[in-house]
Structure 1
Amino acid sequence: MKVKKDFSWLFIFVGIIFMILFGIVSLGVFQESTSIENIDLAIIEVIQTNVTDTKTAFLSILSEIGNIRLSIALTIAFVIFLFIKRWYLAGFWLGGTVLCFAAIGTKLIKKVMGRARPNILPLIEKTTESFPSGHATSATIFYGILGLVLILLTNKYWKKTAVGLAVLVLIGFILMTRIYLGVHFPTDVIGGFLYGMATVFISVGIYKRVLEPLQQVLLRFNIQDRSISRTEGGSSCFPIRR
């Protein structure tokens, strides 16, 4: 008999580690730690060298890849697709994760932290709170979930590696643009990344734990959900056709 491996608790554990790291950075920012200030200034000095109008205009456009409004729009499109395929629980999971944690959660944390935007070399104007970076958070959650899904769906390690690297490069690029444009301290984007990664791993882990019980509940109402949490060849967290 073939025993299927369940890595859901491992995902949750990794997510908790990221959340602890986010808490450490948040505490340092809230207390206006000298170490945090030194880290911010050192990184800003490196990234904001050789500022040009052309580079600023270019990065201002590409930076919007991580815009929360774009992430929400793409999420809505994915959710509609999942519902059409009758992958209802996967749709609610994806939509709920992005809405609750990338949109609402980030705004709440910003209000609690109340950190002002940097005033060193702002190249574009932003007036909302600075920590954590909304672009960093939404990009990490949205692209992170899609990347992790693709990694879990493929059995070839070179493909897993390629997807993982591509997603990290994309997220890292978005984080760098926010620092270059002078709208965020480095610890803002680091905090957004850590919070986003915690959300991705914990959300995927919980999805894998609760999917099958929830499917049984839906069956009582004659609703057949086609989302699955595992494939025969390994572990997956995204729906595929049976």
Structure 2
Amino acid sequence: MIKFLKELINKLRGLLGKYDVTFPYVIAIILALIVVIGGINIFVELTDTLSTEQLSNYDDKITDYIISFRSPILTDYFTIVTQLGGLYGYIVVVFISAFISLVVFRKWKYMVQITFVLALSALSNLVLKRFINRARPEIEHLVTVETLSYPSGHAMAAMAFYGFLIYLFYKFKMHKLIKYSVIFLLTILIFSIGISRIYLGVHFPSDVAGGFIAGAIWVIFCVILFNIIEVFRRDPKTPGGVEKMDAIED
């Protein structure tokens, strides 16, 4: 990602040589926003179909299929999993991430980035829920819920938070078996959290799909934004640049 952004910035700088050295970064951020807008359009398209009978039928069929597997063991599993996608679960994971970031990798920026992604997801979810104003499914709820339904906050935060952790682990230099084992487990966790909301009766499948899409949009945007900031910070041509561009690695 950083190598691609380096090349993009250098090409933009060649085209816009007479402008301020920071202008190519402004263009790069605008391009990132265009990517986000494209993702938002997909999200809006899904949102526009919420009241259609066809989507309602799909929601009902998928929900009926998933809850048909209800059992004491699965209920315990999905209750635990859904807590990992809730407030207290994220508090624990954030503290663990902080320890790993500051003690193991000695990089405080990872902690800042993780917190930013989670906060952005949570705040945008609250806004979207109030704007769309969709009620919860009228079936038995196996856990207590108080907010509105669409998009699923658990699914959105899981995709944004754990999805960003997947990106970080993919980026870290470590033993491949450990790296890909963690990525696999985090992927299973993301989808388990989404399924748990349907299984527990508190979300429609379309709520979860909408949450995943919205969360993925923020992951993509944040990854691009953080990498642009990193290239800017190390660009000797910009104010405060500390390293040569060629020294930046993925």
Query: Would the TM-score normalized by the shorter structure come out above 0.5?
Result: yes
Q: Which runs of 5+ in 1 are unaligned?
A: 236-242
**Matched residues, number:** 220
Two-structure CA RMSD over aligned residues (Å): 3.6
> 1:27 maps to what in 2?
48
Letter in 1 for 2:152: S
- 2:115 matched to 1:95? yes
Gap regions ≥5 residues in structure 2: 9-27
Residue-by-residue CA offset, 1:171-193 (whole Å, 9 max, x unaligned):
11111111010000001111111
Does residue 39 (structure 1) correspond to residue 37 (structure 2)? The answer is: no
Q: Secondary structure at the match of 1:105?
A: helix
Cα distance in 2 for residues equivalent to 1:104 and 1:38: 30
Q: What aligned pairs does 1:1-242 form with structure 2 within 5 A after superposition?
A: 5-6=3-4, 12=32, 18-29=39-50, 32-75=51-94, 77-79=96-98, 82=101, 87-101=107-121, 103-154=122-173, 162-214=181-233, 230-231=248-249, 235=250
Residue identity over aligned pairs, in percent, reads 25
- Change in 2 beyond 3 A, CA 1:59/1:119: same
Q: 1:40 to 1:104 in 2, by over 3 A?
A: same
Task: Assess if the C-alpha contact under 8 Å between 1:19 and 1:195 holds in 2.
Answer: yes
Q: Is the 8 A contact 1:151 1:159 kept in 2?
A: no
Structure-2-length-normalised TM-score? 0.72
Residue 239 of structure 1 corresponds to: none
Determine if contact 2:78/2:192 at 8 Å carries over to the other structure.
no
Q: Separation in 2 of the partners of 1:136 and 1:208?
A: 25
Distance change (3 Å), C-alpha of 1:156 and 1:87: closer
Cα distance in 1 for residues equivalent to 2:181 and 2:36: 22
Give 1:155 deviation, angstroms. Answer: 8.6
Is the partner of 1:5 in helix, strand or coil? helix
- CA distance, structure 1, for counterparts of residue 161 and residue 234 of structure 2: 24
TM-score (norm: length of structure 1): 0.74
Bigger-Rg structure (1/2): 2
Deviates more, 1:114-123 or 1:72-81: 72-81
Letter in 2 for 1:93: Q
**CA separation in 1, counterparts of 2:107 and 2:69?**
49
Q: CA deviation at 1:108?
A: 1.0
Aligned-pair CA distance for 1:157? 7.8
How far apart in 2 are the matches of 1:127 and 1:171? 22
Quote the offset at 1:144 in angstroms.
0.5
Taking the aligned partners of 1:157 and 1:21, their CA distance within structure 2 comes to 34
Change in CA separation of 1:94 and 1:214 when aligned onto 2, cut-off 3 Å: farther
In the alignment, the residues of structure 2 paired with residue 76 and residue 215 of structure 1 have an alpha-carbon distance, to the nearest angstrom, of 29
